[in-house]
Structure 1
Amino acid sequence: MKSEQILKFLVEIVKEASALVTDKFEVSQKGDAFDLITNLDVEIEEFLIKKINAQYPDFRIVSEEKNSNHSVTENCFIIDPIDGTINFTNNLPLWGIQIACVINSEAAVIYLPKMNELYYADKSGAYLNGIKIATNVVPIKNTLYSIDGTNNLPIMEKMRPYSSGRRNLGAVCVSMAFVSCGRLHGALFRSDKPWDYLPGLCIAKMAGATICDEPGFHGAAMNEEFLNILKEANK
């Protein structure tokens, strides 16, 4: 299956799924007090799964709400219907719909509806609203990075001598998208939930970022030097 065919399909269904978003939604807790879910998470995911099953019935689907226990294999789609749910429920624009087919085809889409920014990538490169994008390399002392996850204070302290600043954006898809287009110079995520980080890693890689996908550390950076600094701080 050609990656450009899958990418075109992903762009279409993500745009269609975004039409389901409304200002009226119900919020509940999945686990702890910081793990929220809305009815729109479920509705968007069900819509995307239905579309994929109709077009690619032999592909496995790994998704946050319905198929979180599935492992990532060849011919596999990974879905996060709303990444940054807490931002979404508080009317912050930093959230997105993301989906990828990352093993064989290496195609991914991140859509940030409130910012009207559509990021997508395949082996031809990475794009933002149809314009090819690339990472932005700056001196280490001028770098700006993002960190998502829990217990981040030790990492932030270790990074103090290297970077001009840090951000916690509350949505991994936004962090990875911003690395891909050069607004950030690095991003790291410490959880191992593939729907959170795999679409973003795919787009960042195609934008020229150096990436790392290891248990407990999933990151993208402008170059290998800065990625190694982030990895060392994560130890």
Structure 2
Amino acid sequence: MSNNEIQSRLDFAKKLVEEAGKKALSFFHCINELEIQQKSIQDYVSNADLEVEIFIREHISNRYPDDGIVGEEHENFEGVSGYTWVIDPIDGTTNFLTEIPSWCVVLACVHENETKLGAVYEPCHNELFWGSQGKGAFINDEPMGVSKSKSLNDGSTGVGMNSRTSSRMTVSFIQKLIERGGIFYRNASGALMLSYVASGRLIGYAEPHMNAWDCLAGQLLIKEAGGIIEVQDANEMLKSGGRVIASGPGVFDEILEIANKAYV
């Protein structure tokens, strides 16, 4: 692995998520024409998700044919280069399908058990969150930094949930957060909320289980923006997902403590 290999993939990823986001946005403006299927409770997929992921996969395969690919909507491709791309074509599909402008296209790249780069593009507001390991994190062309808050009542904490874990865990987390003076925020796009932590809009984020395509990019951005994440092996996350706790340094211990008590 060389810095040039990472930089070329980062430049490629930034351009690709923007192009994919514009493609997704064209579907967003024609919601009534989409074909929609329900995968599980509060988990939907449309032909927009499927086609945007295919678009991303084709571009990766053409540029880096030896790289692996893991995506939410299609079969994994085992590469031989040691690099694996992780795709969520539309994170926040429920928002997307109900015309709420709070969704994003997500792309990360993993090498040797570590996430090396991440790009999250929110087309409705034309915001690109991006970064690479050891090189910082940015929103469009401006450096990002996590919140400097030292108290939970200084800002909002993002809270994620899904049908893979018991809802009582999330209810318990929210209750304990409120009891400590915190405010919870949820917009149904975990990747976007993690990006908001990286940019300082949210002071932290917690979810009992996330899939790799939802969280790897955002976790990298938070770390590069000066935040703290609960450490996980990226390859293990690719296999089965896991718990995600992340925030600025001033509130991480308290959010982790609440999560440890709530997520049981």
User: What is the match of residue 29 of structure 1?
Assistant: 37
Query: How far apart are the structure 2 equivalents of 1:33 and 1:221?
Result: 28
Whether the 8 Å contact between 1:210 and 1:227 is mirrored in structure 2 is no
Trace 1:131-170 onto structure 2 (pairs within 5 A): 131-140=142-151, 141-150=153-162, 151=167, 152-170=170-188
Write the deviation string for residues 104-129 of structure 1: whole angstroms up to 9, x where unpaired: 56111000000111100012100001
Cα distance change on mapping 1:90 and 1:30 into 2, 3 Å: closer
Query: How far apart are the structure 1 equivalents of 2:77 and 2:12?
Result: 25
1:6 equivalent in alignment to 2:9 = yes
Deviation at 1:231, TM superposition (A): 3.1
Amino acid at match of 2:143: K
User: What is the match of residue 120 of structure 2?
Assistant: 110
TM-score (norm 1): 0.91
Query: How far apart are the structure 2 equivalents of 1:206 and 1:160?
Result: 28
Trace 1:94-105 onto structure 2 (pairs within 5 A): 94-104=102-112
Write the deviation string for residues 137-173 of structure 1: whole angstroms up to 9, x where unpaired: 2131324101111411111112223343001110011
28-37 or 147-156: bigger deviation: 28-37
Deviation at 1:69, TM superposition (A): 9.3
**Local SS of the residue matching 2:40:** coil
Whether the 8 Å contact between 2:70 and 2:84 is mirrored in structure 1 is yes
Name structure 2 gaps, 5 residues minimum.
Answer: 233-240
Whether the 8 Å contact between 1:27 and 1:36 is mirrored in structure 2 is no
1:52 equivalent in alignment to 2:60 = yes
Whether the 8 Å contact between 2:130 and 2:221 is mirrored in structure 1 is yes
User: What is the match of residue 219 of structure 1?
Assistant: 245
Amino acid at match of 1:231: A
Amino acid at match of 2:90: I
Query: How far apart are the structure 2 equivalents of 1:44 and 1:163?
Result: 41
Name structure 1 gaps, 5 residues minimum.
Answer: none
Whether the 8 Å contact between 1:102 and 1:199 is mirrored in structure 2 is no
User: What is the match of residue 225 of structure 2?
Assistant: 207
Whether the 8 Å contact between 1:201 and 1:220 is mirrored in structure 2 is yes
User: What is the match of residue 228 of structure 1?
Assistant: 256
Amino acid at match of 1:144: S
Deviation at 1:79, TM superposition (A): 0.2
74-83 or 25-34: bigger deviation: 25-34
Amino acid at match of 1:121: G
Q: How many residues align?
A: 234
2:197 to 175, 179, 192: 179
Query: How far apart are the structure 2 equivalents of 1:80 and 1:87?
Result: 15
Identity between Structure 1 and Structure 2 (%):
25
Amino acid at match of 2:263: N
34-43 or 81-90: bigger deviation: 34-43
Amino acid at match of 1:10: A
Cα distance change on mapping 1:203 and 1:128 into 2, 3 Å: same
Q: CA RMSD in A?
A: 2.2
